[in-house]
Amino acid sequence: MTLTGEDPPRSAGPIHRIEGWLRARLARIGVLKRAVVGLRHRRDRRRWEREWGDPAKRPPWLVEDVREPVRAAVADGFLVPPGRALDIGCGIGHNAAWLAWTGFDVVGVDYSQQAIARARSLFADRERLDFVAADVCRPTDLGPPFDVVVDNGCLHVIQRELWPAYRANLLAWSAPHACFMLRFRSFGKSLEECEAGVRAFLADSFEVVQVDAISAAVPQRATGAGLLFRMRRR
Ligand SMILES: C[S@@+](CC[C@H](N)C(=O)[O-])C[C@H]1O[C@@H](n2cnc3c(N)ncnc32)[C@H](O)[C@@H]1O
């Protein structure tokens, strides 16, 4: 017992030394993990640059037209122009251009400079349409919040470790009650597992209005199957 009422000094016994050693190791592992995520992110980006760099290359999943679920969402009134619309991971810009044609003021964002250059040249004559080269996993100011956000195949190609960064942007970019459409490929996982993952990721900020299973865009590759979410920002 101490007369001053202060805690007695803790001796640096073996348990404290082991604790300190473990903490230092874990910190180093954390640094390493972040470095690996950064390296993978740069590798993924280089892959997308190569994918979009050759216009003669036509990846089997590419639809050089608006995607049917986007067209359907305008037709059935889930997405109602006018307003501001954002296409996340817009590639060469067909969804963005079509949304602009329906009357939305559209921004298409993609981190591939090649994709953005092709989108700009393909749709140079379109009004209400802007393409921005930016990484959706880094803080990026895209102006006033959007009433509509579309992600057709971007989130599912992003490493899980970077999802929180994507989410922070999504929340900054979407207006209250904004509509969010997400096409998410399962890559061989069960659809139940994918749905639970996406719901857990976004449930506190987005209400899931509808989820539909979608078949593989390329029938011989079952991994093309996935889910189509319609959500609304809370
Ligand atoms: C499967 S493609 C889909 C392209 C387009 N949305 C479509 O429907 O055809 C995925 C796109 O996401 C882009 N992308 C992936 N990670 C990204 C990131 N962190 N920031 C911005 N774009 C990204 C890629 O460059 C690529 O154009």
What is the pLDDT confidence band of residue 8, given thresholds at 50, 70 and 90?
low
Mean pLDDT of 200-222: 82
Mean pLDDT of 194-208: 95
Residue 57: predicted pLDDT: 87
Structural domain includes residue 29 = no
Ligand 1 touching residue 150 (CB < 6 A): no
Distance separating alpha carbons of residues 133 and 144, to the nearest angstrom: 17
Ligand 1 touching residue 69 (CB < 6 A): no
Q: Give the total number of structural domains in the chain.
A: 1
pLDDT at 114 over 50: yes
Structural domain includes residue 203 = yes
Residues 111, 48 contacting (CB under 8 angstroms): yes
Take residue 40 and report the two structure tokens written for it. 């993978």
Cα of 65 vs centre of ligand 1, distance in Å, is 15
Mean pLDDT of 193-220: 87
Q: What is the pLDDT of residues 42-87, one digit of tens each?
A: 999 999 999 999 999 888 889 899 999 999 999 999 999 999 999 9
Q: What is the mean pLDDT of the chain?
A: 92
Residue 215: predicted pLDDT: 80
Residue 1: predicted pLDDT: 46
Structural domain includes residue 171 = yes
Structural domain includes residue 2 = no
CATH of the domain at 166: 3.40.50.150
Residue 12: predicted pLDDT: 75
Ligand 1 touching residue 41 (CB < 6 A): no
pLDDT at 104 over 60: yes
Structural domain includes residue 38 = no
| Residue % of the chain over a pLDDT of 90 | 80
35's torsion region: left (phi>0), alpha (psi -120 to 50) or beta?
Answer: alpha
Mean pLDDT of 106-122: 98
pLDDT at 120 over 70: yes
Quote the domain boundaries for residue 156. Answer: 68-233
Amino acid, single-letter form, for residue 167: R
Distance separating alpha carbons of residues 84 and 143, to the nearest angstrom: 10
Structural domain includes residue 13 = no
Structural domain includes residue 210 = yes
Amino acid, single-letter form, for residue 82: P
pLDDT at 10 over 70: no
pTM as predicted = 0.89
Pairing mode, if any, of strands 104-110 and 129-133?
parallel
Structural domain includes residue 104 = yes
Sheet-wide strand order for 129-133: 129-133, 104-110, 83-88, 146-152, 174-185, 226-233, 206-214
Mean pLDDT of 156-166: 97
Of all protein residues, the one whose alpha carbon is nearest to atom 11 of ligand 1 is: 89
Q: Write phi, then psi, for 178 (nearest 5 degrees).
A: -60, 150
| Residue % of the chain over a pLDDT of 70 | 91
Query: Could you tell which of 57, 62, 110, 136 is best to mutate to test the pocket of ligand 1, judged by most ligand atoms within 8 Å of the CB?
Result: 110
